[in-house]
Amino acid sequence: MKVLVCDSISARAIERMRKACLVVDVRDQITPDELLAAIPEYEAIVVRSRTKVRKPVLDAATNLKVIVRGGVGVDNIDIEYAQAKGVKVLNTPGASTHAVAELAIAYIFALARPIVQATTSLRAGLWEKARFEGCEIAGKVIGVIGMGRIGTAVAQRAAALGMLVLGYDSQTVGPAPYMHMVELDELYARSDFISLHIPLTESSKHMLDAAAFARMKKGVRIVDCARGGILDEQALYDAIVSGQVAGAALDVFEVEPPTDLRLFELPQVIGSPHIGASTHEATARIGDEVADLLIGANQEPCE
């Protein structure tokens, strides 16, 4: 089976696949136009969040049998169209859980204690001690929207830090000793911090809009390590300027890389370029799971 790796995975995973007699080409900086030209040669492709597999790519992929998404979300793939063409879509949902959950917790700390802004101030040669008084997270209420693997991991860590955890999920979620499941309006009204952990779908797009921010507790802090587009970035900007939202930490954006950086003109906003799963450990786990899936899918004998 001939495999095209479009986004970076571990060298160990590439070696494992080649030892299992897969023909693997690594083009982890491939452009959309280059992918369209190259895809007819391949029976399998590996993507992460950078590469989009939409209808034009799938129409050109005359030999494609399987797409493997290294990571959780598959919103960068037209799944229904792929499946209609007989192409399997697989992912590695558990491999990046710890990495993303830990980034969300790091952002909660960084919003409570303005570490990023204080570092910037020091680098400018200033000593603005009085400017950077923060708050403690122990005893604060965190609302976790989406109680899948990552949301659950965030809830467990937040509870261990002494936070009261409120959870919301549109699906039925059983009780847990470290959190209380509530309706969305109650979560908005009570939460000092809100962390997003849901996929981007038609129903979740701009779920956090101007009306949602208005229903939240004044001074709330928002963390989004899930998907860009779940929150309305213009509405978030307005809510921060008005003082309704005290701060936000964003790892994901509606357009990546973002073309509108007005949010980052606000000192209350910190962010990163979609690095939730970017740890040595998560990269290794993702690579291993990708290799397992493709080796398992290969129907050709190894000579």
In a domain, 138, yes or no: yes
pLDDT of residue 213: 98
Per-residue pLDDT tens for 46-70? 999 889 999 999 999 999 999 999 9
Q: Are 150 and 89 in the same domain?
A: no
Which phi and psi angles does 22 have, rounded to 5°? -80, 140
In a domain, 118, yes or no: yes
Q: Are 49 and 168 in the same domain?
A: no
Q: Are 167 and 227 in the same domain?
A: yes
pLDDT of residue 302: 67
Question: Is the torsion defined by CA of 130, 132, 135, 136 positive or negative?
Answer: negative
In the Cβ-directed half-sphere of 246, how many Cα atoms lie within 13 Å? 18
Angle between helices 149-160 and 97-112 in degrees, nearest 10: 50
In a domain, 261, yes or no: yes
Question: How large is the C-alpha radius of gyration of the chain?
Answer: 21
Q: Which of 227, 254, 285, 289 is catalytic?
A: 227
Q: Are 160 and 260 in the same domain?
A: yes
Question: How far apart (Å, rounded) are the C-alpha atoms in residues 153 and 110?
Answer: 18
Q: Are 225 and 83 in the same domain?
A: no
Q: Are 155 and 249 in the same domain?
A: yes
CATH number at residue 260: 3.40.50.720
Burial 118-136 (b: 16+ CB within 10 A, else e): beebeeeeeeeeeeeeeee
Q: Are 182 and 292 in the same domain?
A: no
Specify whether the CB–CB gap between 112 and 139 falls below 8 A.
no
Q: Are 25 and 155 in the same domain?
A: no
Question: How far apart (Å, rounded) are the C-alpha atoms in residues 154 and 165?
Answer: 10
Q: What 3-state DSSP class applies to 266?
A: coil
In a domain, 36, yes or no: yes
In a domain, 302, yes or no: no
Start-to-end Cα distance in the chain: 12
Q: Which of 48, 149, 221, 274 is catalytic?
A: 274
Which phi and psi angles does 120 have, rounded to 5°? -60, -40
Which residues are CB-neighbours of 124 under 8 A, at least 6 positions away? Answer: none
Angle between helices 97-112 and 115-123 in degrees, nearest 10: 70
pLDDT bucket at 71, cuts 50 / 70 / 90 = confident
- Count structural domains, the chain: 2
The answer to whether residue 227 is catalytic is yes
- In 3D space, the residue among 198, 197, 190 whose CA is nearest the CA of residue 166 turns out to be 190
Longest dimension (CA), the chain: 69
| C-alpha separations of 124 from 111, 118, 120 in Å | 21, 10, 6
| C-alpha separations of 119 from 111, 114, 135 in Å | 13, 9, 17
Question: How far apart (Å, rounded) are the C-alpha atoms in residues 284 and 175?
Answer: 33
Per-residue pLDDT tens for 146-201? 999 999 999 999 999 999 999 999 887 777 888 999 999 999 999 999 999 999 98
| C-alpha separations of 17 from 127, 132, 134 in Å | 54, 50, 49
Question: How far apart (Å, rounded) are the C-alpha atoms in residues 145 and 104?
Answer: 12
Is the pLDDT confidence value at 124 over 90?
yes
In a domain, 303, yes or no: no
Q: Which of 15, 34, 256, 281 is catalytic?
A: 256
Residue range 133-138: mean pLDDT, rounded: 96
Average pLDDT over all residues of the chain: 94
The answer to whether residue 180 is catalytic is no
Tokens of 37: 């030209």
Is the pLDDT confidence value at 204 over 70?
yes
Range of the domain at 40: 2-93+280-297
Per-residue pLDDT tens for 239-285? 999 999 999 999 999 999 999 999 999 999 999 999 998 999 999 99
The answer to whether residue 256 is catalytic is yes
